[in-house]
Structure 1
Amino acid sequence: MIKTAITKKLALAAFGFAITGSAYCATYVYISNIEDADITAYELTAGASPHLTSVGRFPAGKFVMPMAVTPDNKNLYASVRSKPFSLYMYQIDQANGQLKWTGAIPLPDSMVSVSTDKTGKWLLATSFGGHNNSVNQIQANGYVNPVPAEAFPSGGKNPHAIVFDQSNKFVYVPQLGTDEIKIHTFNASQAKPLSETASSVALQKQQGPRHIVISADNKFAYVITEMTGEVIVFSRDIKTGALTQIQAVSSLPSDSKLVPGRPRPPTGSPEATAFDDSNMIFCAEIKLTPNGKFLYTSERTKSTLSGFEVDTQTGKVKYLFTTPTEEMPRGFNVDPSGQFLVATGQKSDKVSLYSINQSSGEIALIERVPGGKGANWVTFVKTK
């Protein structure tokens, strides 16, 4: 019954957006929308007049949030964080970017982050509220085995991301609630590839490490702290995966009046009703350009994006600017060419497309196009 209903919705959603013709190299953007319970898709065209063209809207579950794509760009997975917690699976049409729903499997909890490894054989997920990690095998056809190969406690509190390094040998899990980053070893050839034991790197109390990105050369890691709004720069030991902090830089402008945030109480609780975060730092996302020259972060209270120049030799960053963007920018991303940035707002029904100046790192708004409600996660796919 569920599969039939969703299949019908997908057919209706895709009607009128089909693009005929053979497959060609294209860049697609997928954005998950919490309130609309769907995924909006666009084709990003470059050239003289860059533009986001709607490909369609594809049903998902209520509170659909993080997404991940297989390395071959043929399958997309989305974590639905409302009960029953589940992973929605889609095939990506290489010719037109449309999503074909292929089923849903249960997840052990409300998973706040999902990632696929570089072999395309494994999907990892972590839960903010349940404080646990899970590992599922991806079959050759892209379908994810519903029985986890592994499921175990995260070893910290409130993990918020689960990210592979470039060698596929290490996995980093920032623990927002315990101000640390767990470092797991990973071996894709084993039946249980993710080590349950992990080393840990401590941050300062109440920084709240949220998301992490690894440089393309695998030498550096960059973390955005949710509650203090800092970019923490680490050098990486490529052999052991160990992190050594080398810099901490504020992502806020010097005249910012925001104060450090603190952990938010559960939604719907009496504490949440009285919780005033109107003047608290509330950072969210962090991304690098593919060439590693520029880094960007988002802050939700003032709805801004900040940019940094990166010294690719030392890994250190230099603050460049802060600019307004869509309201409550939980999610944004940089396209695979490094020429464009797409930003959404959880309290906005628009999507912003920016150009990235290849010399200065400055971003310039190109256009705003209609989006969904509760937009929060931006994923790029480049077909070949």
Structure 2
Amino acid sequence: MRWFSVGLWLCCVATIGYAQEQTGQQDVTVFVGTYTTAGSQGIYTLNFDPGTGELKHTGDPVFLPNPSFLRMHPKKPVLYAVSEVRDFEGKQTGSVAAYACDSGADTLTLLNQVDSAGGSPCHLAVDSTGSSLVVANYSSGTVASFKIQDDGSLSEAVSVMQHEGSSINETRQEAPHAHSVMISADNRFVYAADLGTDKVMIYRFDPKSAELTPASSPPVDLEPGSGPRHLVINTEGDGVYVLNELASTITLLERNGETGSLAVLQTMNTLPEGFEGTNGTAEILLHPSGKSIYASNRGHDSIAMFKVVGCTGRLESQGHISTGGEVPRNFNIVPGGNWLLAANQKTNNIVVFRIDPEFGQLENSGQSISVPAPVCLCFTER
């Protein structure tokens, strides 16, 4: 297991690198994706002051139906947004839009909008070179890839991969439901969490052509009824953390960097012992230091905090903190790693948390801002 044999060295390098790379007091632009079916106006723009933790509204909202997930281009001032619908231009699909950001990042200008090659697109990823984009389409159970043009605009779909199957939850798992996509750091593989089939699919990926092909390694099967939703890759090792929405668990998978294959190592509950209410998880993130994992609970309305133990990748619970609202669908860590913002969909607020620099635990700063139906947060430094 290569991850464990070199894990201690990698952990030390990651921790030192993180300490050296933290940003100063530069303000951060926060783009907020929302559900327009709940009365919002689309994509909102906020300013975050990392010196004080204050959030302010800036600019005007940009209308796009249900921009429920956002990502920045890694090298260009371009924002990408899904439109989580099933009726784009008379077809039973959603769309993906590309927006140019002005120098102050307060204004978004549409570059183009393309068919997402499936219904209800809910997640996207951009490769580290900024050459290609991959989208998960929930209702159709498809994963599609797109070329990114020189100006940041998108091509039509290059590859469309159709998932097949179902699982034991007759309401939520009657068909495949691709819920998220993640690209490996070396740009060789795409991993897709499918809530409907309880599988993590594995694809070979060519970022230059944006072509997806099935990997030689088979999908990994998770516990029936678990409902894998989002996942994150530990780039300093070979660990993949999968957040299971229906079971309220995190599954740690060991990844073979050569073949892309996955194997189950550990499963942890995201809820405190004794909780008996209804819950569904939403977002999972790895702190840039590599030392902490966070996951949001909708129902318990909390963020579960975990310590990444000794570079083995295994998790230890560090408790829970209320998100200061209801239905925390998404949260994100501000560049620099000192702050976390949690978007509470039902109570229309975004709450600011401090991150303990040594142990990674969260503290409510007492600051928040109102945004209608916030469901995704994306950052760019001003």
One-letter code of the match for 2:102? D
The residue that corresponds to 1:139 in the other structure is 149
Query: Which 4+ runs in 1 deviate beyond 4 A?
Result: none
Q: Deviations over 1:66-91 (max 9, x none)?
A: 11221115111111112222222211
One-letter code of the match for 1:121? S
Does residue 30 of the first structure (1) align with residue 31 of the second (2)?
A: yes
Match runs of 1:4-83 below 5 Å: 26-35=27-36, 36-47=40-51, 49-82=52-85, 83=87
- Asked if 2 retains the 8 angstrom alpha-carbon contact of 1:210 and 1:225, the reply is yes
- Asked if 1 retains the 8 angstrom alpha-carbon contact of 2:146 and 2:210, the reply is no
The CA distance in 2 between the partners of 1:340 and 1:67, in whole Å, is: 19
Does residue 186 of the first structure (1) align with residue 205 of the second (2)?
A: yes
The residue that corresponds to 2:264 in the other structure is 245
- Asked if 2 retains the 8 angstrom alpha-carbon contact of 1:128 and 1:158, the reply is yes
Moved more, 49-58 or 155-164: 49-58
- Asked if 2 retains the 8 angstrom alpha-carbon contact of 1:60 and 1:88, the reply is no
Q: Deviations over 1:87-136 (max 9, x none)?
A: 22211224344322333222222211111111111111111110111111
The CA distance in 2 between the partners of 1:97 and 1:236, in whole Å, is: 39
One-letter code of the match for 1:193? E
One-letter code of the match for 2:183? F
Match runs of 1:139-218 below 5 Å: 139-145=149-155, 147-156=156-165, 157-189=176-208, 191=209, 193-196=211-214, 199-218=218-237
Change (3 A) 1:25 1:95: farther
Cα displacement (A) at 1:25: 5.1
RMSD over aligned Cα, in angstroms? Answer: 1.9
- Larger relative contact order (CA 8 Å, sep ≥ 6): 2
Match runs of 1:101-116 below 5 Å: 101-109=110-118, 110-116=120-126
Structure 1: runs of 5+ lacking an equivalent:
1-23, 259-279
Change (3 A) 1:322 1:377: same
Q: Deviations over 1:275-296 (max 9, x none)?
A: xxxxx22111101101111111
The residue that corresponds to 1:380 in the other structure is 379
Change (3 A) 1:347 1:249: same
Q: State the SS of the aligned residue for 1:194.
A: strand
Structure 2: runs of 5+ lacking an equivalent:
1-24, 89-93, 166-175
- Asked if 2 retains the 8 angstrom alpha-carbon contact of 1:216 and 1:290, the reply is no
- Asked if 1 retains the 8 angstrom alpha-carbon contact of 2:131 and 2:210, the reply is no
Cα displacement (A) at 1:252: 0.6
Q: Could you tell me the TM-score, scaled by structure 2's length?
A: 0.83
Cα displacement (A) at 1:250: 0.7
The CA distance in 1 between the partners of 2:264 and 2:232, in whole Å, is: 14
Moved more, 104-113 or 174-183: 104-113
Change (3 A) 1:169 1:382: farther
Q: State the SS of the aligned residue for 2:279.
A: coil
The CA distance in 1 between the partners of 2:238 and 2:53, in whole Å, is: 33
The residue that corresponds to 1:365 in the other structure is 364
Change (3 A) 1:63 1:56: same
- Asked if 2 retains the 8 angstrom alpha-carbon contact of 1:74 and 1:93, the reply is yes
The residue that corresponds to 1:336 in the other structure is 335
Alignment identity in percent?
24
The CA distance in 2 between the partners of 1:29 and 1:164, in whole Å, is: 23
- Asked if 2 retains the 8 angstrom alpha-carbon contact of 1:51 and 1:367, the reply is no
Q: State the SS of the aligned residue for 2:180.
A: coil
One-letter code of the match for 1:68? R
The CA distance in 2 between the partners of 1:53 and 1:192, in whole Å, is: 37
Change (3 A) 1:235 1:97: farther
- Asked if 2 retains the 8 angstrom alpha-carbon contact of 1:55 and 1:96, the reply is no
Q: State the SS of the aligned residue for 2:212.
A: coil
Q: Deviations over 1:224-270 (max 9, x none)?
A: 11111111111221112212221111111112113xxxxxxxxxxxx
The CA distance in 2 between the partners of 1:112 and 1:180, in whole Å, is: 17
The CA distance in 2 between the partners of 1:123 and 1:34, in whole Å, is: 22
One-letter code of the match for 1:81? E
Cα displacement (A) at 1:195: 1.0
Does residue 321 of the first structure (1) align with residue 331 of the second (2)?
A: no
Match runs of 1:224-239 below 5 Å: 224-239=243-258
Change (3 A) 1:121 1:86: same
Cα displacement (A) at 1:366: 1.6
Match runs of 1:81-96 below 5 Å: 81-82=84-85, 83-84=87-88, 85-96=94-105
The residue that corresponds to 1:302 in the other structure is 300
- Asked if 1 retains the 8 angstrom alpha-carbon contact of 2:147 and 2:210, the reply is no
One-letter code of the match for 1:291? S
- Asked if 2 retains the 8 angstrom alpha-carbon contact of 1:350 and 1:368, the reply is no
The CA distance in 2 between the partners of 1:125 and 1:342, in whole Å, is: 24
Q: State the SS of the aligned residue for 2:213.
A: coil
Higher strand share: 2
